[in-house]
A and B are shown apart, each in its own frame.
Chain A
Amino acid sequence: MLAYLVRRLLQMIPLLIGITLLSFLVINLAPGDFFSQLRMNPAVSPDLIRELERQFGYGDPLLLRYLKWLWRVVHLDLGMSLAYRVNVADLIAMRAGNTVILALASMLVTWTLAIPMGILVALRPNSALDRTLSFAAFFWMSLPSFFFAFLLMYLALRTGWFPIGGTVSVTYDSLGIWGKIGDRVQHLVLPMIVLGTGGLATLMRLMRANILDLKEADFVRTARAKGLPERSVFGKHILRNALNPFVTLAGAELGDLLGGAALVEAVMNLQGLGTMMLDAVRALDTYLVIGSVLIGSLLLLVGNLLADVALTVVDPRIDFTRLESKS
């Protein structure tokens, strides 16, 4: 187990180097750089700009700059943001919490809805309920998240049921501990619905397909033949196995959610990694951009690893040697 984990973690290193190098090259392909705007500003002296450029290492060739950045990262220093003049790591730490909370909350919404709904329709395939829910699933799957966000925001503005924009109210600091939690939850509801319903359809359809497949499996027939009550046939044999692929999916889900969260944040004006990344990209704040990309990919890779580990816990038939030969 330990050897497996170490190997997986080591495999991430070349992957992360590839990802950051690619991002670094891309952002430097952009016309101009962070200082182009400063140069247009007559109030900023050319000497100051030259000093800043030197400070941020802009005089070096591109590849050398990347290597220097990489060297600092190895020492757990993500560099300074050009726009904010603060540590990139501090900025990300400030914002990542909101994004991760949003992603996890949405995942909770998706799973608590998708699994029971999938079971429900699989119990009576091709019934009116199945057809209605399957159609509804297609509907949600096709609804663009930003459009859904706009619709919900319109509704919220008209009714005043939920606050719009931000993750906390202006009065947040004066609230008690429960008030603070309540306030956060209130702000979380709309983005959570937008993001959570996006993956709902796919998971529900998957659950349905899994159960229908397993219903005809040999071991299920055996379980019935030896006289097990239908409840334990379903609960212990069908359901248990139908849930396995979901554990693997959770890792991939997390990646999608982090990306999806960025879009929803930007549209609904929440403070998170997504909005920060958007601002950083607009300002060509190179180190902030690759810092965010690095953290984003790290979250994704670790999520996948955790999902694989969880799978071996849930399904004892799968061991680490098989996981490795699979990939």
Chain B
Amino acid sequence: MPRPPGKTVVVSIFLLALFYLTALFAPFVAPYDYTEQNRAFPHCPPSSVRINQPTRWGESLLYTHPLKLADPMTRRYEEDSGVRIPIRLLYDGHLFTTAADAPRFFLLGTDDLGRDLFSRIVYGGRISLSIGIVGVLISFSIGTVLGSIAGYSGGWVDNLMMRLVEVIMSLPSFYFLLALASIIPPNLAPGTTFLLIVVIMSFIRWAGFARIIRGMVASLREREYVAAARALGAPRWLVLARHVIPGTFSYSITSATLSIPSFILGESALSVLGLGIQEPGASWGNLLATARNVQYLVNYPWILTPGLFIFLTIISFNFLGDYLLERFNPRSVVR
């Protein structure tokens, strides 16, 4: 009997579902547009959220006090506790927001241009969260096709492909990733940059995967049911597609889940270094890029929150992958 998923796995699935839904419905969840600049509020700290008590009918449940830039040199803000700004829930097509003419409310503070960090994180999730899925789909498709062709045919095809795989696997991957990232022109649309980054990372990652699939296919090929299918006169592609490749799926699914984090990390790392997604586009990595400025880091620590989202996503995928590993390949894990 497989072990039922533990608490950590359930929490992980819940968190991932929450993050992906948030990214999907970003315009609804984010209170403001992610490019909206509030030049009067550079590096504004997170606003306080207060509960209206007792709530009277017709008043909003939550409110905040407006912040005022008290000292532009040190970017010190002061709260004007005399004024209440209502935070409206399910208002104007947003989950929560303030009225269009009211002062802004910054749940997680703002960046150097006064853009709402929370809205940028919500929109940035669209890139950071989909890069893992798209990257895994591309690299695993290439890996499965090439790996199974190599494993099934053997001979010089196999030899040639495995030499290529060896070259790619011996590359110092991060250095090569940097070199590859240099071919992305800086003035592309964020969507195109995103695609290029995925393709580049998939190009590096498919190799290791193809090698394992090749090994599995080479052993599956000798099984009796495959020999039977061949003897019955099934064409080569049918034998591969119907009988051999499905045998690798339990490995692929597990390994795909465990590979998603490396794609997310790859994009974030490039973006942190300024080589990935470019402004004004947002990804969790490029939101963190401003933290490389030591002055910003020490004075405005809330700019680090995107990193927390990266961390939570990755730990969730790791817990989920570990569970799948135990479930599908019980022999590889020791009690």
A interface residues with partner B (beta carbon < 8 Å) = 14-15, 18-19, 22-23, 26-27, 29-31, 125-126, 135, 138-139, 141-144, 146-147, 150-151, 153-154, 157-158, 164-165, 208-209, 212-213, 255, 258-260, 262-263, 266-267, 269, 274, 277-278, 281-282, 284, 289, 292-293, 296-297, 299-301
Contacts and interface: CB of A to CB of B under 8 A. Distances in A.
A149 B286 CA distance: 16
B314 A142 contact: yes
Given A144-B310, A146-B288, A22 B178 contact: no
19 contacts: A26-B180, A31-B185, A125-B335, A142-B315, A146-B272, A147-B304, A150-B307, A157-B297, A209-B333, A259-B173, A263-B174, A263-B269, A269-B292, A281-B182, A284-B182, A293-B172, A299-B172, A300-B170, A300-B172
A266 B172 contact: no
A154 B304 contact: yes
Given A29-B183, A142-B314, 4 more contacts: A22-B171, A125-B335, A259-B174, A263-B269
A36 B318 CA distance: 44
B273 A278 contact: yes
Contact of A139 (B166, B307, B310, B315): B315
A23 B179 contact: yes
Q: Which of B175, B273, B334 has the most A CB atoms < 10 Å from its CB?
A: B175
A293 B175 contact: yes
B292 A23 contact: no
A272 to B, nearest CB: 12
A296 B182 contact: no
A23 B269 contact: no
Nearest to A258: B172
Nearest to B180: A26
B97 interface: no
B249 interface: no
B319 A138 contact: yes
B335 A212 contact: yes
A150 B297 contact: yes
B294 A165 contact: yes
A135 B6 CA distance: 13
A147 B310 contact: yes
A259 B172 contact: yes
Give the dominant DSSP class at A's interface. Answer: helix
A19 B175 CA distance: 11
A153 B304 CA distance: 12
Nearest to B317: A142
Interface in B140-173: 163, 166-167, 170-173
B314 A262 contact: no
Contact of B182 (A19, A30, A150, A293): A30
Given A23-B176, A263-B269, A144 B314 contact: yes
Of all A-B residue pairs in the complex, the 6 with the closest CB atoms, nearest first, are: A259-B174, A147-B307, A142-B315, A296-B172, A18-B167, A157-B298
Interface string B254-270: 00000001000100110
B310 A278 contact: no
A278 B292 CA distance: 14
A262 B175 contact: yes
B246 interface: no
Interface residues of B, number: 45
Given A144-B265, A255-B172, A296-B172, A22 B167 contact: yes
A301 B170 contact: yes
Nearest to B264: A144
B311 interface: yes
B311 A144 contact: yes
A21 to B, nearest CB: 9
A69 to B, nearest CB: 15
A292 B294 contact: no
A125 B234 CA distance: 50
Nearest to B268: A144
Contacts of A147: 288, 304, 307-308, 310-311
Contacts of A260: 174
B171 to A, nearest CB: 6
Question: Which of A126, A146, A212 counts the most B-chain CB atoms under 10 A from its CB?
Answer: A146
B5 interface: no
B272 A267 contact: yes
A146 B268 contact: yes
A299 B175 CA distance: 13
A138 B182 contact: no
A274 B176 CA distance: 11
B171 A143 contact: no
B301 interface: yes
Contacts of B226: none
Nearest to B307: A147
Contacts of A277: 175, 178
Nearest to A134: B322
A61 B20 CA distance: 48
Contact of B179 (A18, A213, A293): A293
Contacts of B138: none
Contacts of B163: 14
Interface in B288-334: 288, 291-292, 294, 297-298, 301, 304, 307-308, 310-311, 314-315, 318-319, 322, 333-334
B181 interface: yes
Contacts of A135: 8
Contacts of A158: 298
B179 A26 contact: yes
Q: Which of A14, A15, A213 has the most CB of B within 10 A?
A: A15
Given A138-B319, A144-B310, A154 B179 contact: no
Contacts of A213: 334
Contact of A164 (B173, B273, B294, B310): B294
Nearest to A157: B298
Contacts of A153: 294, 297
A116 B25 CA distance: 47
A154 B301 contact: yes
Given A23-B179, A150-B307, A297-B172, A267 B294 contact: no
A293 B173 CA distance: 9
